Amino acid sequence: MNFFKQINEYAHLNYLHPNRMPWEQAAVGDELDFLSRALVGEMGQEDKAVAYLYKELAQLAEIEMHVATVMSRTLCELQACNTPFIAGDGLYHALSCFAAEEINHANSFYQYVRHLSGRDIKLENNLFRQRIELYCHENDAPLIKLAALCSTAYVGESVITVFERRLKVLDPMQHSFLTKLLHFHGLDEARHIRCDHAIFDEVIPTFTAAERKRMHHLIQETEALNTQLAKASAETVKAAFDLDYTEGNHAAKTQLDMTMRFREQVQSGDLIRKVDDYMDEETAAVVRQFSLASRVHTGLSQL
């Protein structure tokens, strides 16, 4: 499908590779002060900002590895399917790039939080086996699994896009290490969002009622496991830092609020909906207050 092939036209030019970032500079200069102000919302909260980033980005690395694993397996399973979506090399190219970039993101965030904090905290209770097994049922068609996977990843991709925009508003010249990191990450995320949107627009509407029901079941189970992962990750990081990084943390509060709102607006219908197309005024106000923009995804066609 040509619309999938076009997504990665400039992926070799605009991308995040782990070697692109000088990780040893993650916490130099005024970086920690910027993180305290940009995330927690006040000065003097550097430890809280670092602990918050460790939890969120280490957890995100786990989710991205899961997405890459399931997407790669699903792509291989699609070879045996009689569907027009696998004709040619468009979908194969799009999903291969998507999965490869997710691994690079996981690698990048894994390195970042360790250099930022000077700690090596392993998220041992990462529920990886359970999250993988959810997508191993032989009776589930590969396209149903792909749709469910992208529908859950899309919520987190939308939230981190708002965070990227917030940092660029506060740091327009991109002096901060985190601003630069999220900028390069965002180049990839914009393509992932385009891939998600193509699946929402072109693939999911072809499902039968039974297939959509199964897709929503996979979405609900995935979100439940991701919630368990979030709770386990929070417990691990809070214990390691001996600190409740969520207390009085503006970013943590807003992130949770946006996640729940986006999840409801994207996943609650019969079909999967684009976040900007179904955002209510209250949610738009939350996004605008945090990032000075009412829309989440803009300018996707240029990346």
Rounded-to-integer distance, Cα 141 and Cα 160, Å:
30
Q: What percent of the chain has pLDDT over 90?
A: 93
pLDDT at 82: 85
CA distance 271 to 274: 10
CB distance 59 to 106 below 8 Å:
no
What is the value of pTM for the model shown? 0.96
- At residue 123, the 3 state secondary structure works out as coil
For residue 291, give every residue at least 6 positions away whose Cβ sits within 8 Å of its Cβ, in sequence order, or none.
Answer: 162, 163, 165, 166, 169
pLDDT digits (tens, 9 = 90+) for 133-172: 999 998 999 999 999 999 999 999 999 999 999 999 999 9
Query: Cα-atom radius of gyration of the chain, to the nearest Å?
Result: 19
Q: Quick one: which of 126, 122, 144 has its CA closest to 65?
A: 126
Q: Which residues contact 6 (CB under 8 A, 6 or more apart)?
A: none
Return mean pLDDT, the chain. Answer: 96
Cα distances from 65 to residues 58, 186, 192, 208, 217, in angstroms, run 11, 17, 15, 30, 21
User: Mean pLDDT lowest for which of 1-5, 12-16, 67-71, 170-174?
Assistant: 1-5
Q: Quick: pLDDT tens for 202-247.
A: 999 999 999 999 999 999 999 999 999 999 999 999 999 999 999 9
| Single-letter amino acid, residue 283 | T
Dihedrals phi, psi of 193, to nearest 5 degrees: -65, -40
**Residue type at position 77:** E
CA–CA dist 160, 211 (Å, integer): 29
| Res 58 pLDDT > 70 | yes
Residue-level pLDDT at 1: 58
Neighbours of 268 (CB within 10 A): 11
CA–CA distance, 39 with 301 (Å, rounded to integer):
29
- For 65, the token pair is 């590895």
Instruction: Return the structure tokens found at 40.
Output: 């927690």
What was the pLDDT predicted at 2? 74
Q: In CATH terms, is domain 2-302 a member of 1.10.620?
A: yes
List CB contacts of 192: < 8 A, sequence separation 6 or more.
98, 101, 153, 157
- Over residues 89-115, the pLDDT tens digits come to 999 999 999 999 999 999 999 999 999
Instruction: Give me the phi and psi of 299, to 5 degrees please.
Output: 65, 30
Contact 199, 74 (CB under 8 A): no
pLDDT bracket for residue 300 (50, 70, 90): low
